[in-house]
A and B are shown apart, each in its own frame.
Chain A
Amino acid sequence: MKPSPFTYHRPGTTEAAVGLLTELGTDAKVLAGGQSLVPLLNMRLAAPPHLVDINQLQELNYVRATGTSPDGAGPAVVVGAAARHADVERDPAAHQALPLLRRALRHVAHPTIRNRGTTVGSIVHADPAGEMTAVLALLDGSVELRSANGSRRVGAADFFVGPLESAAEPGELAVSATFPVPPGQTGTAWLEVARRHGDYAVCGVGALVTVDADHRVVGARAAYISVDTTPVVLDLLDAVGTGPADTADWSAAGRLAASTLRPDADIHATAEYRRHLAAVLTGRALTAAALDARGRGVNHHTGETEETA
C-alpha cells in the first residue's frame, strides 16, 4: 500500500494551479484533503504521474453565506475549494442560512476525516454515496470550474456525469461550490441508514419541503445517495399533493420514490432493501422537513419534536 511514483506540485496561487493543470492535462490529479485520493493512490488503484496540491491556496479557503449568489440569484452559501467539511459544518452563518449543510455533513464519515476532507473535493470526486453531491443536487447548486480559458459554472444536474465522474475536464480546477438557499418557507432534513456510524450510506435521503403561509405544501423534493450511479433528485409534490402539511401523506412520496429508483445490490444490502429504505426514509425525511419548515424538528432517535435553529 505505497503509491506509484508521482511528481508533487504545490502552487502558491490559483492561477499557477490552473496553469499547471492546463499544462499537465490528464496526467494531473488535484490533491485537496486527500481523503479519497490518497487511499486510491496507496492501493495503486490510481497512478497519476502528477499531483497538484491546492492546500496552499488561501484564496480558496472560505465559507461565505452571501445575500446574492455568484450567479446573481438569491442568497447562497459559497464554499471555496480549500475549505474543509469541518469548516462548513461549523460555520455559524452557513448554518443559519442553510441548516441542511450541517445536517448532512454530520453524516460524512467521522470528525477526523471532515477535518481534512474538502466539500468541493468530495463533490468533484462525484461518489454517488457522497452526501454533499446530493445536497448540491437537491438545492440546484452549481460548481465553478476555472481553466486557462476562464471560468464556467456547471449546474448540479449536469455536473454529476457518472460514478466518480464529474463534468470537470482535464485542465480545470473546481474553485467553489454554490449552495443556493431555497426560497419561501422551506424546511430541510437529512436522514440515512449506514452500516456503521459514518460509513457510506446504504441509502441516504435529503428532503426539502416548502409550505405557503397557510402551511399548505407547495414544494416537496428529495435527493438520494447510494441508489444510483449519480445523486438522484425526485420531485415528489404530485405524490404528496398540495394539501395541509400537517396531514400530508408523506408515505405516498416514499412509495413513489421506491417505484422510481433503481438501486443496485452490493455486499452490504440488496437492491430491494435499498428501495425499501428509500421509501421509509423518504417518508421520514419529508415529515421532518415539513416540521422544519414550521420551525419544529423531529429527533428520529427519541421521536420527540424539538425547536430547530
Chain B
Amino acid sequence: MTTRMLGAPITRREDPRLLAGQGRYVDDIGAGALEVAFVRSPHAHARIVDIDVTDALDVQGLVAIYTHEDLPGRVGEPLPLLIPHPALTHGRTPCALAKDEVNHVGEPIVMVVATSRYLAEDACDRIRVSFDFDPPVVGIENARDGAQLVHDDVPGNVAAHLVQEVGDAAAAIDAAPNVVELDLDIERSASMPMEGKGVWARWDSDDRSLRVYTSTQASTSVRAAVAAKLGLEADRVEVVAPDVGGGFGVKIVHPWPEEILIPWAALTLGQPVKWTEDRREHFVSSAHERGQLHKVRAGFDDDGRLLGLDVTFWHDNGAYTPYGIIVPIITSTQLLGPYKPGAYRVEFFSLYTNTVPVTPYRGAGRPQGCFTMERTMDAIAQHLGLDRTVVRERNFIQPAEMPFDHGLTFQDGRPLIYDSGDYPASLEKLKKLVGWDEFEQYRTAARAEGRRVGIGLACYVEGTGVGPYEGGFVKVETDGGVVVATGLTTQGQGHQTAFAQVVADELGVPIDKVTVTTGDTRRFKYAVGTFASRAAVMSGNAIAVAARQVREKALRVAGEALEADPRDLEIVDGVVQVKGAPGSSVPLATVAVLSNPLRYAFDEETQRATQFASPADPDRPPVAEGDSPGLEGTGYYSPPRSTFANGMHAVIVETDPDTAEITVLRYCVVHDCGTLINPRIVEGQIHGGVAQGVGGALYERMVYDDAGQLLNASFMDFLMPYSTEVPAVETDHLETPSPLNPLGIKGAGEAGVIPGSAALASAIEDAEGFRITRMPISPSELHHLRVQHELASSAEKGLEA
C-alpha cells in the first residue's frame, strides 16, 4: 500500500530550490527591460500646482516621463474599489498617478521610464513638483474629530459606519451585576514581505498579447483588471505570479497603480518594462494595517459569564479604501472568539487619514478583535478574582452547541456560523503544555531571585477558507508524471508540497511524480486568490475533486484494457491493478496513453500501449460522446460558508525590574485547523505567525508625525523582530475536522499572528500588576507605566494615611 501522504510531516519540496538561491522573483526576470522609478508625494495632503520636468529631460537614458494627464481613458480613472459594501457610503480610491491632489506621503505623481533604475532615479531627482498645502489629518483622534477633512466631500472623514446587534446589549449590560469598561488601542504595522511589489510587462505585437509578471496574491484578478483598464480581451493577457517572496495580505490588493502603469507603458512603448519596489517605497506606497481604537462595555454575572457586550471602535483606513471595509468587518465579527457574548452590539467607524491606505495584513482585523475580547476576559477575571482560564471556560461555546450561529454577518456576506471546534479540549491541552497550574510556584521561585515573571493567554477563532470558489486541474502525462494546476498563487505556503500530498493520496501515485503550478493564468484561468487562510481549504479540496475525476477515468480506461470491472481496481504507486491480483495491472502512464487515441507513437510508452488497445469498433468514434481525450480532470470547490479554525496561545514573559526590558521566556500554541495536510507546514505557518505576533506586540509601529511623515520608513527604525527576538514556539495540535469540505481541513495561514498582542499584554499585565491597554509596548513605555502606577499608588497610600 502506498504510504498515506495526507497528514505526513514531509519536508517542503520547494525549499532546496529557494534556499539555494534558485528562486525566480520578478526582479530576476526580464533582464534588459526598461526600468521605472516614481516621483512620489513628499507631502501628506496637498494640491498639485505644477510639475516641471525640464531639468530631467537631459538625463541620459531617459525614455519617457508620464503624469496623470498622459494617461488615456480608463488608465487615468480612479482604481477600482474591490469590495463595495452598503455601509461603505464614502469609498474613495486613487488614480494610478495622482490627479490634482495627493492624500498621503508616497502617493505616485510622476512615472519615469529609463534604461536603468539608476538613471530613472536621477531623472526623478530633477523633477520639480510644486504644491499648495492642505492641513493633514493624522491619527484616529484627529480623524474622528473631523475638524480637518481628508477628502472635501467626505464629512467627518467617515468612509463607513456599520452596526450589528444581536439582542439588546445595552439593556443586558445595565441589568448585569458586574460591568467593566475598557479603552483599548492597537497601533499600525504592516505586512512587510521580504520581497516588495514588482511588475514586469511585455507586449508581443505579433501575437497581440500581453504578458505580465507580478508579485501578487491574485494573478487571475490582476489579469481581469489589466485587461479592463487597457481595453484588451482577457484572453490576450497572461498574468503570472512567479516566485513571490511573501505577501501577508499586502499583495491581495489589485490592481496596484503599478500593475496598470507598467503594462500600459510596455504597450505604449512597445518594449518590455519593469518596476521593482524598493523598501522605502514599500513603506509609504503599499499598505498598512491594525490601527484601531476600541471602547468596550461588558456586563457579566458573578461567575464571570458574559451577559452583554457592547463594542464601539474606530478604524483608521488611511487615505483610500481600495479593499473596502473587510478589516473592520472582521474585527467586529471575529472578536467574539470562542465565546458566547450574551447580547452583543458592535459599531464601527472607518475613518480617513492622510496616511498610507489600510488593507488586510495577515490576521486582518482579528488581532485587534482578539486583543479587545481577551483584554475583556482578563478584566472580568480580575474584577471577580477568578483564574483567567476559568472565566474563559465558562464563556466557551461547547462542542455540543456546534454548529453555533452567532446571528451576525461575516466578511463573506454569509452568516457567522461556527462549523466545529472543541474549545474546552484546546484549553486543557494549552494549560498542560504551558504548565498553567504550576506557574505560581515558578513565580515564587523567580521572585526569590529578584526576577519578575508573568503568564498570559489568549484564545481566538478564525473564519478561514472563504469562498466563492477555487479550481484545480490534474493531468496524468504519458510518462506517468502528474501535472497539477490551480489558479491561486503561492507566496511561501508550501503549495508545491501540500497540494502534491493531496494528489498523491487521491490518485495513488508517488509524490515525486507530482508537479504543482500556481498563480499562472496560462495554466488555470479561474481563481480568487491566496488570502484569508483559504488556499488549502479551497484549492486543496478543488484539486482533490479533480484528482478523483482523474482516478475515476483511469479506473474506467484501465478496466477496459484489463477487461476488469473498474470497481475491482485500485491504484498503487502509479499502477492500476486488480485488487488482490497485482499481476494483472497497467501503469497510469499507459492509461494516459490509452485515454488519448492519437495515431502517432512518439515513444516507447506509446508503442507498448498498443497491446492494450481495444479492438477498434469501426462504428464508434474514437472519443466517445461526453468523453474527452487525455487523462485529466478539472474540479471546483465552492463552500456554503467559511470554516472556523481556532487556537489558544499562552506566553510566559520576564520583565526586567529596572530596565523594563521584556523577554519572552516561553510561547506555547495549541492549534486546531481540522485535518492536517502536513503538520510541518502548519507548524511553520504558526512559527511565522507568532514571529509577526511578537513583532506587533513588542516592536512594530508606524510612527507618523503630525505632518503625516512616516518617521521610521526603513528596517533600521521599523523594528521587525530578528530571529533573536522570536521565542522558540512549543506547539500542540487538536484536529477537529471541518464538516464543510471533503478533506475536513480548515485554514492555518493567519492563525499564528492573531493572539500575539492579546497574549503578551495578558502576560505583561500579570508580571507588572497593572492593566495594559495599548499595544505594542516598548521598554520605554513600560517604564513610564511603572512610574505612573507608582505615583498613583503612593498618592492612594497618602490619602489613606
A195 touches B121 (CB 8 A): no
- The residues of B that contact A152 with a CB separation of less than 8 Å are none
- Interface pair B703/A267, CB less than 8 Å apart: yes
Q: Are A268 and B780 in touch, CB under 8 angstroms?
A: yes
Q: Are B722 and A193 in contact (CB under 8 A)?
A: no
Residues of B258-306 contacting chain A, CB below 8 A: 278-280
Out of A193, A198, A272, name the residue touching B779 (CB < 8 Å): A193
Is A175 in the interface zone, CB < 8 Å from B?
no
- Which residues of B, 60-85, contact A by the 8 Å Cβ criterion? none
Which residue of A2, A5, A196, A273 contacts B719 across the interface (Cβ within 8 Å)? A196
Most B-side CB within 10 Å, residue of A196, A202, A303: A196
Kindly list chain B residues whose C-beta atoms are within 8 Å of the C-beta of A272. 784
Flag if A269 contacts B724 (CB, 8 Å).
Answer: no
Q: Are B712 and A198 in contact (CB under 8 A)?
A: no
Residues from chain B with Cβ under 8 Å of A151 in the complex: none
A276 contact set on B, CB distance < 8 A: 783
**Contact in complex: B779, A273 (CB < 8 Å):** yes
CA distance A126 to B778 in the complex (A): 27
5 CB < 8 A contacts A-B: A44-B121, A196-B724, A199-B719, A269-B780, A273-B784
8 additional A-B pairs beyond A43-B280, A280-B659, beta carbons within 8 Å, are A1-B278, A2-B121, A195-B778, A196-B722, A196-B725, A268-B778, A273-B660, A277-B659
Complex contact A198–B722 (CB within 8 A)? yes
Q: Does A96 contact B (CB under 8 A)?
A: no
B773 to chain A, nearest CB (A): 19
- Interchain nearest-CB distance for A73 vs B (Å): 37
Min CB distance, B506 to chain A, in Å?
A: 45
Query: A105 to nearest B CB, angstroms?
Result: 17
Q: How far is the CA of A62 from the CA of B784 in the complex (A)?
A: 46
Complex contacts, B724 vs chain A, CB 8 Å: 196-198
**Residues in A neighbouring B783, C-beta threshold 8 A:** 273, 276
Interface residues of B in 341-386 (CB under 8 A from A): none
Cα separation A196 to B278 with both chains bound (whole Å): 23
Give complex CA distance A56, B738 in Å: 64
Closest chain A CB from B33 CB (angstroms): 16
A3 to B278: give the CA distance in the assembly, Å: 13
Whether a CB of chain A sits under 8 angstroms from the CB of B52 is no
Given known contacts A43-B280, A197-B722, A2 and B118 CB-to-CB distance under 8 angstroms: yes
A43 to B278, alpha carbons, bound, how many Å?
A: 10
Q: Which residues does B use to contact A, with CB under 8 Å?
A: 117-118, 121-122, 125, 278-280, 449-450, 658-661, 699, 703, 711-712, 714, 716-717, 719, 721-722, 724-725, 778-780, 783-784
**Among candidates B118, B122, B699, residue contacting A195 with C-beta atoms closer than 8 Å:** B699
Contact with B along A268-309 (1 / 0, CB 8 A): 111011001100110000000000000000000001000000
- Residues of A close to B699: CB separation below 8 A: 195-196
Do residues B725 and A270 form an inter-chain contact, with CB atoms below 8 A?
no
Task: With both chains docked as a complex, state the minimum distance between the C-beta of A14 and any C-beta of chain B, in angstroms.
Answer: 31
B661 to A, closest residue via Cβ? A193
Q: In the complex the two chains form, what is the Cα distance from A5 to B717 in whole Å?
A: 27
Proximity bits, A1-32, B CB within 8 Å = 1, else 0: 11111000000000000000000000000000
Q: Which residues of B contact A110 (CB under 8 A)?
A: 722
User: Which chain A residues border B122 with CB–CB below 8 Å?
Assistant: 4-5
Q: Find out whether the CB atom of B279 lies under 8 angstroms from the CB atom of A273.
A: no
CA distance A267 to B778 in the complex (A): 10
Instruction: Decide: B780 and A270 in contact? CB cutoff 8 A.
Output: yes
B279: nearest chain-A partner, CB-CB = A1
Main secondary structure of the interface of B (DSSP, over half): loop
Contacting residues, chain A, for B784 (C-beta < 8 A): 270, 272-273
**Min CB distance, A169 to chain B, in Å?**
29
Most chain A CB neighbours (cut-off 10 Å) among B717, B780, B784: B780
Query: Could you give, for residues 22-50 of chain A, a 1 whenever the CB lies within 8 Å of some chain B CB and a 0 otherwise?
Result: 00000000000000000000011000000
Residues from chain A with Cβ under 8 Å of B714 in the complex: 43
Cβ-closest 4 pairs across A and B:
A197-B724, A269-B780, A273-B780, A1-B278
Complex contact A2–B117 (CB within 8 A): yes
Give the Cβ gap from B694 to chain A, nearest Cβ, in Å.
Answer: 11
Q: Which residues of B contact A5 (CB under 8 A)?
A: 118, 122
Specify the chain A residue showing the minimal Cβ separation from B722. A196
Residue in A closest to B705 when the chains form the complex, CB atoms:
A267
Contact A202:B779 (CB < 8 A) given known A1-B278, A270-B784, A303-B449? yes
Cβ distance A5 to chain B, nearest Cβ, rounded Å: 7
Chain B residue nearest to A1 (CB atoms) is B278
Closest chain B CB from A85 CB (angstroms): 18
* B721 x A196 contact (CB < 8 A): yes
Complex CA–CA separation, A197 to B117 (angstroms): 33
CB distance from A214 to the nearest CB of B (A): 30
* Smallest beta-carbon distance B258→chain A, Å: 16
Q: A44 to B125, Cβ gap below 8 A?
A: yes
Q: How far is the CA of A3 from the CA of B118 in the complex (A)?
A: 7
* Complex interface: chain B residues within 8 A of A198 (CB): 722, 724
Task: Provide the bound-state CA to CA distance between A90 and B658, in Å.
Answer: 32
Question: Are B278 and A202 in contact, CB atoms less than 8 angstroms apart?
Answer: no
Bound Cα distance from A2 to B281, whole angstroms = 12
Query: By the criterion CB–CB under 8 Å, are A4 and B659 in contact?
Result: no
For the complex, give the distance between the alpha carbons of A272 and B717 in Å: 20
B659 touches A193 (CB 8 A): yes
Which residue from chain A places its CB closest to the CB of B695 in the assembled complex?
A: A196
CB proximity of B313 to chain A, nearest CB, Å: 25
In angstroms, how far is the closest chain B Cβ from the Cβ of A70?
35
Question: Whole-angstrom distance between the alpha carbons of A66 and B784 in the complex?
Answer: 47
State the CA gap A86–B703 with chains docked (Å).
34
Indicate whether A202 sits within 8 Å of B780 (C-beta atoms), given known contacts A2-B118, A2-B121, A267-B717.
yes
Write the nearest CB–CB distance from A234 to chain B, whole angstroms. Answer: 19
Question: Bound complex: CA of A267 vs CA of B703, how far in Å?
Answer: 7
Q: With A1-B279, A2-B117, A195-B719 in contact, is A269–B778 under 8 Å at CB?
A: yes
Whole-angstrom distance from the CB of B706 to the nearest CB of chain A? 14
- Beta-carbon contact of B778 and A4 below 8 Å: no
Complex CA–CA separation, A202 to B717 (angstroms): 12
Q: In the docked arrangement, what's the CA distance between A196 and B659, Å? A: 14
What 0/1 readout, one digit per residue, does chain A (43-83) give for beta carbons within 8 Å of chain B? 11000000000000000000000000000000000000000
- Find out whether the CB atom of B703 lies under 8 angstroms from the CB atom of A197: no
How distant is the Cα of A110 from the Cα of B724 in the complex, in angstroms?
A: 11
Complex formed: what's the CA distance from A114 to B712 in Å? 24
Q: How far is the CB of A58 from chain B (nearest CB, A)?
A: 31
Cα distance A273–B658 when bound, in Å? 11
* Cβ–Cβ contact B721 & A267, under 8 A: no
| Assembly CA distance A225 to B449 (angstroms) | 30
* Chain A residues within 8 Å of B658, by CB: 280
Compute how far the CA of A193 lies from the CA of B779 in the bound complex, rounded to whole angstroms. 10
Q: Which residue of chain B has its CB nearest to the CB of A2?
A: B118
- CB-CB < 8 A to B121: which residues of A? 2, 44
8 Å CB contact of A1 from B280, B659, B711, B725: B280
Residues of B within 8 A of A200 (CB): 716
In the complex, which residues of chain B have a beta carbon less than 8 angstroms from the beta carbon of A4? 122, 125
Interface residues of A in 73-120 (CB under 8 A from B): 110
Chain A minimum-CB-distance residue to B711 = A267
CA distance A3 to B122 in the complex (A): 9
Chain B: minimal CB distance from A184 (Å): 30
A272 smallest CB distance to B (angstroms) = 8
Collect the chain B residues with CB atoms within 8 Å of residue A280's CB.
658-659
Interface string of A187-198 (1 = CB under 8 A from B): 000000101111
Minimum Cβ distance to chain A for residue B778 (Å): 7
Which residue on chain B has the smallest CB distance to residue A277? B659
A269→B703 CA distance, assembly (Å): 13
Min CB gap B40→A, angstroms:
13
> Which A-chain residue is minimally distant from B120 (CB atoms)?
A2
Measured in the bound complex, the distance between the Cα atoms of B118 and A267 in whole Å is 31
In the bound complex, residues from chain B placing their C-beta under 8 Å from that of A267 are: 703, 711-712, 717
* A300 shortest CB reach to chain B, Å: 10
Q: What's the Cα separation between A294 and B467 when bound, in Å?
A: 69
Give Cα distance in the complex from A214 to B517, angstroms: 76
Instruction: Determine how close the nearest CB of chain B comes to the CB of A251; give it in whole angstroms.
Output: 10
Residues of B within 8 A of A195 (CB): 699, 719, 778-779
